Amino acid sequence: MTIKKIQRRPVPGASRDWGGQLPPLLRRLYSARGVTSDAQLDYTLKQLASPLDLRGIDGAVELLTQAIAEQQRVLVLGDFDADGATSTAVALLGLSMLGLQHIDYRVPSRFADGYGLTPGIIERLQQENALPDLLITVDNGIAAVEGVQAAKDLGVRVLVTDHHLAGERLPAADAIVNPNQPGCSFLSKHAAGVGVMFYVLTALRRYLREAGRLPDPQPNLGSLLDLVALGTVADVVPLDHNNRIFVEQGLRRIRQGLARPGILALLDIAGRDHTRISAVDLGFVVGPRLNAAGRLDDMSVGIACLLADGEDEARRLAQELDTLNRERRTIEDGMKAQAQELLASMSLDLDGLPWGLALYEPDWHQGVIGILAARLREQTHRPVIAFARGEDGTELKGSARSIPGLHIRDLLATVASRHPGMLKKFGGHAMAAGITIDAAGLEPFADAFDAAVRDTLTADALEAVVVTDGPLSAAELTLETAALLRRAGPWGQHFPEPLFDGEFRVVRQRIVGENHLKLVLQPDWGGDIIDAIAFNTGPVVPDYTLTGARVVYKPDANTFRGRTSLQLLIDYIEPI
């Protein structure tokens, strides 16, 4: 990634209502992230927004109450990513806790079915004599106009729970719960699919309690918060106050060893101590292993891991997921090498590349193109769509990743309006989207995509900026600060983990593990030397001992041979 400049995050100068005794560093960091009072740092469950503010929640409760009373057959239709997997697990576990006995789940195949509830899925359920009385979508459904109608035509009632943006038409479901549907006044528009399903359960529990119909002993839905935290972090939704409550409460359960056996097994296989994990571990350790099932095989393996009650079964399934994730990395490495060749054929440098990149190789894996698009976006700081061949060879399935300042779903809508019929399907968020086009239409689409990006962005937007929280003082550059920051989260999307910058004398440097740069630094003001590491730099780097280095870093605790010391994790480094 080419950095145009290192930019320091501004800290508002207005007074803050800090009732507690926060250290000055945390006051600065929280203020820069829009926190204005202690109340926004209160992560107790009583601070969660009310489920009663969700449009459609009464209809959802009515459907589920009837399903429990009549012991109807209920089918949960999930999605093939971590949010979909955790949403499915939360739905099955929660509804079972609340008295539903006949409940099962299905997950569409990424390769055979595509995303969400489709008429083909309903047709297959009918052929298998497996149509339910009530079908619940989780983390999908808001765009399933045809799929919902196919279910309704066969007498199946449908409850849609989703968080994706609504299209021009809503499905004719019996109830829709989605904070982003038109007319919904719910406070948190950034809830993940798993958060929406959890809210449905809390509303149902409230109604059953008031009606005196809760099972005995009364179920504790808080036991599902480890799953809610995992899905929220893994789906990279903005961590507003509401989502931070979900994540913090889930992390507390995991640290106490009260999580689902599958989550604990995934952490253990990855070599993580569950008593010390942070949101970063959910996003970069557990999430990818869970997602690997949906990318390469069948997300049912991931859901089974989350649902497993016994440690042995959870361990076996977690090991299977870890193996799939290793396979995914191998496939990804090969695809990245091919992508580099494509980029090189387009231009000798970044300045000559299209502003919007649409890339395709016939043997690219459909389950890995999203990761590839994200990697290329990081490298080029351009919106990227990576395409793979569809099942029948006549279509290309694309996964898009965007950069700040460009809403990728809206941009695809612009392309669709300018070129009717060019896009067969599309949908998504501001930063990520999915798309289907005709295989023969790749070149005109690539041109149209690039043109739309050029009409939307300025050239400055293509220059990457790394945003930091400024320098740490000598008194703050300590192991205690690393521990303080770890406890101060949860950090995540739109509530970023603190990054600091400073100039250092480089005492020593060497490459370790073929691709990682290990350094010994001394702050420019003098003082003690500090270990630092920059991952995945490659084997060839400048000799920073000659120039010194400007470093963007996170303070971290490194334990080696029983001794814990301060180590800087380097995000970006350049010669002074």
- Every domain of the chain with CATH number 3.90.1640.30 lies at 52-322
Determine contact, residues 236/184, Cβ cutoff 8 Å: no
Give me the pLDDT at residue 514, please: 82
- Every domain of the chain with CATH number 2.40.50.460 lies at 466-575
CATH number of 466-575: 2.40.50.460
Rounded to 10 degrees, what is the CA torsion of 60, 248, 405, 116? -40
Between strands 175-177 and 423-428, the pairing is: unpaired
**Cβ-Cβ contacts under 8 Å for 25 (sequence gap 6 or more):** 472, 476, 481, 484
Distance CA 9, CA 456 (A): 25
Give me the pLDDT at residue 116, please: 87
Give me the pLDDT at residue 559, please: 84
Structure tokens at 154: 């066969």
Range list of β-strands (E), 402-515: 423-428, 432-438, 464-468, 500-512
CATH number of this structure's domain 347-462, picked from the four choices 3.10.310.30, 3.40.50.300, 3.40.50.1100, 3.40.50.720: 3.10.310.30
Determine contact, residues 569/556, Cβ cutoff 8 Å: yes
- 134-167: b (≥16 Cβ within 10 Å) or e: bbbbbbbbbbbbebbbbbbeeebbbbbbbbbbbe
Determine contact, residues 439/394, Cβ cutoff 8 Å: yes
DSSP-derived secondary structure letter, 397 = E
Query: Cα 192 to chain center, whole Å?
Result: 9
Q: At which residue do the structure tokens 């952490």 appear?
A: 267
Determine contact, residues 415/423, Cβ cutoff 8 Å: yes
The ranges of the chain with pLDDT < 70 are: 1-4, 13-20, 348
CA distances in angstroms from 8 to 196, 319, 364, 499, listed in the order given: 35, 42, 39, 9
Structure tokens at 524: 């420019």
Determine contact, residues 295/367, Cβ cutoff 8 Å: yes
Give me the pLDDT at residue 16, please: 63
Residue 349 falls in which region: left (phi positive, over 0), alpha (psi -120 to 50) or beta: beta
For the stretch 77-123, pLDDT in tens is 999 899 999 999 999 999 999 999 999 999 988 777 778 899 999 99
Determine contact, residues 70/54, Cβ cutoff 8 Å: no
Determine contact, residues 401/377, Cβ cutoff 8 Å: yes
Q: At which residue do the structure tokens 């740092």 appear?
A: 41
Give me the pLDDT at residue 133, please: 98
Q: At which residue do the structure tokens 């939307």 appear?
A: 456
Preceding omega of 132 cis (within 30 degrees of 0)? no
3-class DSSP state of 435: strand
CATH number of this structure's domain 52-322, picked from the four choices 1.10.10.10, 3.20.20.80, 3.30.70.270, 3.90.1640.30: 3.90.1640.30
Distance CA 59, CA 499 (A): 45
Closest CA to 328 of 285, 281, 365: 365
Closest CA to 434 of 233, 237, 164, 190: 164
Determine contact, residues 469/8, Cβ cutoff 8 Å: yes
Closest CA to 63 of 216, 223, 207, 164: 207
- Every domain of the chain with CATH number 3.10.310.30 lies at 347-462
Neighbours of 311 (CB within 10 A): 13
Determine contact, residues 541/522, Cβ cutoff 8 Å: no
Give me the pLDDT at residue 391, please: 78
Distance CA 482, CA 297 (A): 39
Q: φ, ψ for residue 107 (rounded to 5)?
A: -125, 125
